[in-house]
Structure 1
Amino acid sequence: MKTSRLFLAITCLIAAGIVTPIVDNLAAAGEGDGVTAPFSATTITVRNDSEFREAVRRAQPGMVIRIQSGQYKSDVWIENLHGRQDAPIVIEGADPQNPPVFVGGSTGWQISEGSYIILRHLHFRGQKVNGLNIDDGGSFDTPAHHIRLEHIVVEDVGPVGNCDGIKLSGVTDFVVVNCRVEGWGGQAIDMVGCHRGVIERCLFKGKNGFSQDTGPQAKGGSTQIVIRQCRFVDAAKRCVQLGGSTGLAFFRPQGVLYEAKDLLVEDCLFVGGEAAVSFVGVDGAVFRHNTIIRPQVWVARILQETREPGFVPSRNGFFERNLIVFRSDLRDFVNVGPYTAPETFRFAENWWFCEDRPAASRPRLPSPESEGVYGQDPRLRQVDEDRWVVENPAARDFGVRQNP
């Protein structure tokens, strides 16, 4: 376990390094989870589509654009919108309890080449391609950066195919917090060539009639992404995808030989879905302290979809201190595909319980597990649709860490 502990320590340092600069840069004038604009900011309130689009065109660092409740048109194109570290541009719903809704169209908003932007209390519904799209405008050397999304709702995108709730391409130093994505075609949050990002306290919920291939997905050379304290309810075929399949021309940076690296998923709840986590062409990822309840087909997958010369096999994953409650009709515990390196994955200190056949709780894994717990009932109790508590005191150090 020495290698695992070292990797976890390094990953924790990476995570700490991610959070601090983002919070310092975007919350310089605010406290807690909600970021407030600088005291001297100019605030503009808009009430219709034309006023909103004109305000965005005139936006300057430190400006706050407040959108009144109501229904607005989608297909909003925003380009070269730049705040400053000490004066971000804020676009928000005027009434957090009744946010403005951007309905229909191909994409709700597309923001290209932006920086120091805060979006919050906004609702996107019924887009055909993407709910919210933020990218670097195809200029890989100048990523969009320091973007914060708070209390964003995206729903009913697609319904099938490569249609994403939130799409991030070439975005660095970002936070997605307290958002909800419900009903989508491709990925709930698709990250292509993204770096130093945090997704936390979000809800991902599947809907009938939507293909929902993955929940959050980090690929295309993405690094240093943390996904934590999120809830997944019948969310996707692959609830979290660490890696993926990307055309070489879209990697950021160019020339890397992995889909993703240095990823962390922790303290998340997974209820249903085909598989909680998929490691796909990834070179180092930690999946720890997560609670997985009744996965439909597998607990995890180790796959390789990008097979270009020199590309690393999916490797160096850590699966530790998770709590897994499953039924005996599970197809398998870990689905291992060809061209991967399953022997490099480490399994340690996980709690496994087969609720209809406790004697069948010990899993078949691609490498030996150390200090696992098998066949003991954690006594999970459902509080509501996306909240469960552990009533067996011995199991409380496994899975999602409980708040004191």
Structure 2
Amino acid sequence: MQSVTIRSGSELRQALQAARPGTQLLLAPGEFGAGYFLENIHGAPSKPIVVRAADPARPPRFSGGSVALHLARVSWLEIHDLVIEKMSQNGLNIDDGGQYTKPSHHVTLKNLRISELPAGNRDGIKLSGIDDFHVEGCHVARWGGSGIDMVGCHRGKIVGCTFREGGDNGVQCKGGTSEVTIQRCRFEGAGLRGINLGGSTGLEFFRPPVATMPAQARYEARNLTVEGCTFSGNDAPLAFVGVDGATVRFNTLFLPRKWALRILQETRLPEFIACRRGVLESNLIVFRSDSWGEGGVNIGSGTAPETFTFARNFWWCQDRPERSRPRLPSPETEGRYGQDPLLGSDLKPRTGSPALKVGAHALPPTNL
């Protein structure tokens, strides 16, 4: 692998334009400004183009512009160990350059720290038309829209990331997004909705294009998985919104402000499916009766809540244990209600807890 040390913004721009498969760009400590737009950056299998900090303990800093980096039509690209802050729009944009049938692909983001974005539709990481992607160990704080927003992204994994003090939601999967797993992440005050499983997207932005999706079975998102995550301080940790199949298992939901989950339909055209086929199993939910609306589940019109499946979840009403049983849209199998899970300050059950087999800490190693 060829390594090139980069010490300025002009050097970075030139090096990215010239990079070939196997090139590693090592960014020296210091300020790199913002506003880089580049396209057609392509590594190769086993020879990615890598942009990373020369010294991860002193990461390069991008600040003071509209977007730090906007990369279009890329493949086999990795970005590691950067600090991005105080942008007026999004922190990092990666997309397909508007070529909706030719996605960018094999993109890896690791250990990015993104923060201080204004209110409104401003996202920490914006991914549009990306296939086969991996986001790991990133920290996103104080953003307006989504910590990570995906539009038409497929076959991806978001693992070990932290989202704090956000705006609308921590992670959003919409616009035809499918086959995405969100695993072992923390959502701490991460917006009104911790994870938006689906959403509402203008028809012109779907990937694949709406016209190519099955008639009468179009969806905002499909086949999503959330597992091993911890949520605290959200209005609703989970929102199923026009999604066709989403499995939520082995997560800890601690003191939501209104509901454990929402089942909604925001894209209401007749050719779109009603929100359906959600699965919640082996989750640990701790709540208070004075912050618990509609029995814990908010159900909007135009949805199919009867298709949701509930199994082996552990429900504990902290201030009124006798009110621990939620009001679910379909019967739960082997649910447990009204027992103190004996959580420690780290939200993990202590020795002797009746909740040792549920929640984020109990995600089986085979799921990792």
Q: Which residue of 2 aligns with 1:5?
A: none
Q: Which residue of 2 aligns with 1:165?
A: 124
Which among 317, 332, 342 is matched to residue 278 of structure 2? 317
Please say if residues 339 and 354 of structure 2, whose CA atoms lie closer than 8 Å, have aligned partners that are also in contact. no
Q: 1:217 is matched by which residue type in structure 2?
A: Q
Please say if residues 348 and 361 of structure 2, whose CA atoms lie closer than 8 Å, have aligned partners that are also in contact. no
How far residue 300 of structure 1 moved from its aligned partner, in angstroms, is 0.2
1:331 aligns with 2:293: yes
Which among 65, 74, 82 is matched to residue 34 of structure 2? 74
1:186 aligns with 2:145: yes
Which among 212, 219, 222 is matched to residue 174 of structure 2? 219
Q: Which residue of 1 aligns with 2:312?
A: 349
Give the Cα–Cα distance (whole angstroms) in 2 for the partners of residues 219 and 345 of structure 1.
19
After superposition, where does 1:4-403 map in structure 2 within 5 Å?
A: 41-157=1-117, 159-206=118-165, 212-255=167-210, 256=213, 257-329=218-290, 330-332=292-294, 333-383=296-346, 388-391=347-350, 392-402=352-362
Q: 1:250 is matched by which residue type in structure 2?
A: F
Q: 1:234 is matched by which residue type in structure 2?
A: G
Give the Cα–Cα distance (whole angstroms) in 2 for the partners of residues 52 and 193 of structure 1.
29
Which 5+ residue runs of structure 1 have no aligned equivalent?
Answer: 1-40
Pairs aligned (count): 355
Identity %: 49
Q: 1:191 is matched by which residue type in structure 2?
A: M
Alignment RMSD: 1.1
Q: Which residue of 2 aligns with 1:11?
A: none
How far residue 402 of structure 1 moved from its aligned partner, in angstroms, is 4.2
Q: Which residue of 2 aligns with 1:24?
A: none
Give the Cα–Cα distance (whole angstroms) in 2 for the partners of residues 87 and 244 of structure 1.
35
Secondary structure in 1 matching 2:348: strand
How far residue 259 of structure 1 moved from its aligned partner, in angstroms, is 0.3
Give the Cα–Cα distance (whole angstroms) in 2 for the partners of residues 195 and 340 of structure 1.
24
Give the Cα–Cα distance (whole angstroms) in 2 for the partners of residues 219 and 149 of structure 1.
20
Q: 2:175 is matched by which residue type in structure 1?
A: G
How far residue 401 of structure 1 moved from its aligned partner, in angstroms, is 3.0
Please say if residues 169 and 194 of structure 2, whose CA atoms lie closer than 8 Å, have aligned partners that are also in contact. yes
Q: Normalization by structure 2: what TM-score?
A: 0.95
Give the Cα–Cα distance (whole angstroms) in 1 for the partners of residues 57 and 300 of structure 2.
46
Deviations 1:307-360 (A, max 9, x none): 112110000000111000100111230100010011111111100001111111
Q: 1:283 is matched by which residue type in structure 2?
A: D
Give the Cα–Cα distance (whole angstroms) in 2 for the partners of residues 341 and 398 of structure 1.
26
Please say if residues 182 and 226 of structure 2, whose CA atoms lie closer than 8 Å, have aligned partners that are also in contact. yes
Which 5+ residue runs of structure 2 have no aligned equivalent?
Answer: none
Q: Which residue of 2 aligns with 1:37?
A: none
Deviations 1:134-191 (A, max 9, x none): 000000121110000000111011x111100000000000000000110111111010
